[in-house]
Amino acid sequence: MNKKSYLSLLNNILLLLFYQSNAQNGVTLSDVHKSKTRQIAWRLLTMYNGFFTQQSCKNTPSSIISNSTYSRIIEWIRSLWQRCTKLLFPNSSNLSDVAYEEIIMPQYFESKNIETTAGSYLSTQYLHDRFGLARRDIDSVLPITSNILKYKDVELQLTDAIAQEPRWPTECKVIQERVNHIDYIPPLPEPYYVSTGREPKPKPVGEEFGTVIFNYSPISATNYFSRSCSGGTTVLSSSNSISSCLGDLNNVNDNFNNISSKNQNDLEFESRFESGNLEKVIKITDSYYQLHLRRDMYTQRHMQWFYFRISNTKSHIIYRLSIVNFCKEDSLYNDGLRPLLYSTKDATMHAVGWRRCGDNISYYKNDSSDEEREKHTLTFNITFPHDHDTVYLAHCYPYTYTDLQEYLSAISNNPIKSRFTKLRLLCRTLAGNNVHYLTITAPNCNEEGRKKKGIVITARVHPGETPSSWMMKGIIDFLIGESNQARELRERFIFKLVPMLNPDGVIVGNNRCSLSGKDLNRQYRTVMRESYPSVWHTKLMIRRLMEECGIAMYCDLHAHSRKHNIFIYGCESKRANCCGKLTEQIFPLMLHKNAADKFSFENCKFHIEKGKEGTSRVVVWLMGVQNSYTMEASMGGSTLGSRNGTHFSIQDYEQIGKSFCETLLDFSDDDPTKEKLRNKILVRLIKEGSSADEPTNINLTDYSRLK
């Protein structure tokens, strides 16, 4: 798209906003204005549909749909069109029907032999020929709309289209149903599995030793992301029959042509839903199934996260499941971690949600020597609670992109919370999914507002680390709550929260990467805005906030698959004086005091390891934020106090978010008594020889006894 066409498009958007805002404010539009608005809306609609119908044309460049700038504009246009038709045209449905009949179809582009440069079909000449836009009109709007292109206008992006349908790579197939899970808190902490040392360790076998009953591997001819669409290319019925898995055998995106006919007693597997991950299932016997996880899309590795559905269960059979292609050498499954199970019948009849399951659990290295990379197997017995039930199994408590959209929408629609909570669109991902951020702060006069510093918290850069989303939810729930502590935090700080940095990876069920095929938490030193939009825009937001008011703390929320407890990684201050050295350890130590049965100060590390230079924690620290942290929550549980040997629940993850906020209040309190206390803690840390690699725990049961 050339600059003139781009600016003309944006000018039409601005005009439409102008007319719409007048109408919303009670200004009666003249017939001329109404006519002008209709013309603009029709132009925008046709541009929008032309943009996407072009995707089916041959020789269309793949870069068009993957460009986050273009996709952001098009989504903006679509939302404006929908709002404008509802506002100005009572019979909008009929108008839409007429408008769609006027859409330029792909055949038109083919017949005109449109050039294959990105956006060429929206060139100045094309706009002039098709819509009657005079060249002089296009030229005249350049001064009006040029500021839109400046980065400082990022917040002008549309923010009210919160509940956007997930956008998937076009090679993905998705079942057409919303997977819902009820909230549930176990009555007691669920204990770890205790190994007997006699657990069976079956060796993985090939397809020739069994029957393939599920095989889903979305294939891209180029093995890199090129296009996306809402809901996936083919929307399937919710039936899990073999016929629904077969699809079109001539389609390169299908990989079901080796599935054998279904036995009515077989378990039925499915993972083609949001955040699902299961690639292949081989039935070895009536009670033993071998499972393979899908790699992160456009990569050859990162098999760790799993989340899939099983139907046609039998309660009297002890099944054994073996997931045979984990990539990590070690796992908490060796230390008692048990998988999660969700029974739809238990949820309906007993209001019981996710709970731990499995017996005879073992995690071990495969013997195969011809593998390019070593693989590992998780094997366990499982007994299902009901016959003919539909159950879900997961590595940890799922939290999907749709879950987040619904949560944010509820906050925005709350008339009380919206007074101090603002939702904004940070950017769009490669696939065109929303990356939102929340600003939470008490309304202040300008003078008071200048005294506030910023707190920036991000989460879910790694899609498989779902505890980070639950911790973020705990933080948000606390900050928008009605407690005196929450009010005081809102009065004291400006909170900028990015709940999901990698929605593309979350949607497709990746474990670590985005659709770029890269780990986003190694890209914070990059300047590649189009490849890593959420990283680039987060850095921009942080830089602006530092210039405007300064940042008191940054924290990136993660989860850990090989360590117990909750802990923090920080950045060591190497200044020798007491005012600088070890100051980064004060907040984690205070958090340990507030959550002693979950958070371990001794597990914390403050040394910057080689290979971590591109992480958000280190880059933000280098930008000048001294208290820059990564908080890791175990996917297993705790080894501390009364919670020793028990799994974390959703409530535990949310609770640590609350404890984080409470600790922040103590840590930032400028009361002389609290300041004196923090100084005592620092002196004690230095005296006890605390270091970046081996922080020394100090008993803070009674603050007043510190000397």
What is the rounded CA–CA span in Å between residue 536 and residue 531? 9
Q: How far is CA 142 from the centre of its chain?
A: 37
Q: Which two three-digit tokens encode residue 148? A: 């839109």
Q: Which two three-digit tokens encode residue 306? A: 């799993």
Supply φ then ψ for residue 175, to 5 degrees. Answer: -70, 145
Specify whether the CB–CB gap between 162 and 434 falls below 8 A.
yes
What is the rounded CA–CA span in Å between residue 366 and residue 379? 12
SS3 196: coil
Side chain identity at 141, as an amino acid letter? Answer: V
Which neighbouring-strand residues pair with 20?
none
Q: How many CB atoms lie within 10 A of CB 435?
A: 22
SS3 93: helix
Q: Which two three-digit tokens encode residue 677? A: 């206390």
What is the rounded CA–CA span in Å between residue 418 and residue 411? 7
Specify whether the CB–CB gap between 521 and 539 falls below 8 A.
no
Closest CA to 521 of 612, 620, 632: 612
Specify whether the CB–CB gap between 357 and 382 falls below 8 A.
yes
Q: What angle do CA 325, 329, 331 make, to 5 degrees?
A: 90
Look up 632 and say whether it is catalytic.
yes
Q: What is the DSSP string of 646-681?
A: EE--HHHHHHHHHHHHHHHHHHH---HHHHHHHHHH
Closest CA to 485 of 496, 497, 500, 475: 475
Catalytic, out of 274, 465, 584, 632: 632
What is the rounded CA–CA span in Å between residue 442 and residue 485? 13
First to last CA, the chain: 68
Q: How far is CA 610 from the centre of its chain?
A: 26
Sign of CA dihedral 31, 32, 35, 37: negative
Which residue do the tokens 């700038």 mark?
Answer: 69
Specify whether the CB–CB gap between 321 and 289 falls below 8 A.
yes
Q: How many CB atoms lie within 10 A of CB 684?
A: 18
Task: Bin 351: left if φ > 0, else alpha if -120 < ψ < 50, else beta.
Answer: left
Closest CA to 333 of 355, 293, 357, 362: 362
What is the rounded CA–CA span in Å between residue 57 and residue 105? 9
Give the CA distances from residue 688 to residues 585, 599, 681, in Å, rounded to whole numbers and listed in that order.
13, 20, 10
Q: Which residues of 155-171 are buried (b: 16+ CB within 10 A; e: fewer)?
A: ebbbbebbebebbbbbb
Closest CA to 218 of 249, 242, 252: 252
Q: Which two three-digit tokens encode residue 609? A: 């390891």
> Which residue blocks in 466-532 are alpha helix, DSSP H?
467-479, 484-492, 503-508
- Catalytic residue numbers, as ranges: 632
